[in-house]
Amino acid sequence: MHGLFAGLTTLDVAHGLDSVPDPLSKTTSTAHLLAAGGPATNAAVTFSALCRVARGRGSGSGDEGDGSDGGDAATLLTAVGRGPLSDVVLADLAEAGVDVLDATELPDGRPSSGADSRARGLEPALSGIVEHPEGRTVVSTNARLALDVVGARALLAEGLLDEGDPDVVLVDGHNPELAALALRAGTPDVDGSADPFAELEEHPSHLRVLDGGSWKPWFTPLLGLVDVAVVSADFRPPVLTEADGDATAAFLRGFGITRVVRTDGANPVRWWWDGAEGEVPVVGVAEASTLGAGDVFHGALAWALARLHASGLAVPQDPTPQIAFAASVATLSTRTFGTRAWRSDPGLTELLEGI
């Protein structure tokens, strides 16, 4: 299978505490993580991990190596930058089996040293995360690397030649230029067409998924290219006075999106799907570490939808099995700290056997 992801990549430095930190004293963490982060990035890592487990289950063995083996691929179109922090990000994603298409715009001279990279703004965003029993604190540089959109288009075309058309596309709410490129993958080039709706009328065979998170002002021109919108309880378009699920689904239908999935923490996941609707319960975990759980949900849902496409199966009329699978994988990820340790949980094999 081939999953194409586009969006933000950060370097996450996370600490887990077993008590609420005292601001006047030094606190020692009970767990820590240094890894690539970002919504689409974590979703790509999840997709690759599920491909690996599925291959191991099919061969009767365990870990079959990283996600680049066996014909499966998770491709991430993003901006990683240059310098020591970028090297850490790339090394982590290589270990996770994610193929990175780096669309960072480089100045003349293409600096390679860390000092030059920082001076020219080429380091990725750095997020510091502290998770404790009463909540989580996140501090981020919120840096947005400049993009080489023309170069990104060429990188993506080359990547699709190598890996083939995707079985699913997922974009997050960051880097709208990269999202637009990914959402158009597998459709004819309609630039210069006299028909202003030509782009919206072209539909690839795979599903295009939006990790909506919260509303972003640049979503509007992208919505017509989306088939499945996965939004959080915080997603509120400006035309709505409150974040209401039914109203949000109705708003997205106005853009032709007839498949909407709405997560709400530990509450049931609600869905609206081609005229039907329903909900899927979420099983909670005591003392859960929810860091990245939403991203894992999105990656697992993308994997389940890609599996159908790769098998030549139609889009389901009832998405309950796929949503329940994604929710189960996300729940499993909360049993351990961070966004990586859950991938070695033997319970993943059991979850794959049920879908």
Structure tokens of 278? 């329903």
CB 273 within 8 A of CB 319: yes
Q: Rounded CA gap, 24 and 190, in Å?
A: 60
Please give the Cα distance from 186 to 188 (Å, whole number).
Answer: 7
Asked if residue 132 is part of any domain, the answer here is no
pLDDT tens figures, 338-350? 999 999 999 999 9
Asked if residue 247 belongs to a domain, the reply is yes
What tokens were used for 267?
A: 């509450």
C-alpha 46/C-alpha 302 separation (Å) is 9
**What pLDDT, in 10s, does the model give residues 115-161?**
555 545 788 999 999 999 888 899 998 767 899 999 999 999 999 99
pLDDT surpasses 50 at 65: no
Q: What is the mean pLDDT of residues 25-29?
A: 90
Res 117: pLDDT = 52
* Residue reference for tokens 């990656």: 299
Task: Give 172-182 pLDDT, tens digit per residue.
Answer: 989 999 999 99
User: Does residue 22 sit within a domain?
Assistant: no
Q: Is residue 84 part of a domain?
A: yes
Residue 222 placed within a domain: yes
**Using CA atoms, how far apart are residues 38 and 178, in angstroms rounded to an integer?**
14
- pLDDT-derived band at 61 (thresholds 50, 70, 90) equals very low
- The per-residue pLDDT for 205 is 92
Model confidence at 191: pLDDT above 90: no
Residue 252 inside a domain? The answer is yes
Looking at the domain assignment, is residue 334 inside a domain? Answer: yes
* Residue 114: strand, helix, or coil: helix
Would you state the pLDDT for residue 281? 95
pLDDT surpassing 60 at residue 184: yes
How confident is residue 68, by pLDDT bands cut at 50, 70 and 90?
very low
Total-model pTM: 0.91
Say if residue 355's pLDDT is above 80. yes
Beta-bridged to residue 137, according to DSSP, are 130
Examine residue 288 and state whether it is found in any structural domain, yes or no. yes
Which domain does 301 fall in, by range?
Answer: 2-9+43-104+148-353
Say how many domains are in the chain: 1
pLDDT tens column, 240-294: 999 899 999 999 999 999 999 999 988 999 999 999 999 999 987 766 788 999 9
What pLDDT was estimated at residue 66? 44
pLDDT band at residue 107 under the 50/70/90 scheme: confident
Distance separating alpha carbons of residues 175 and 160, to the nearest angstrom: 20
Q: Report the 10 Å Cβ neighbour count for 287.
A: 8
Listed in sequence order, the DSSP H helices in 60-175 are 84-95, 114-119, 149-163
Q: How far apart are CA 304 and CA 346, in angstroms?
A: 19
The Cα–Cα gap between 49 and 44 comes to 9
**What whole-number distance in Å separates Cα of residue 234 and Cα of residue 214?**
5
CATH code assigned at 205: 3.40.1190.20
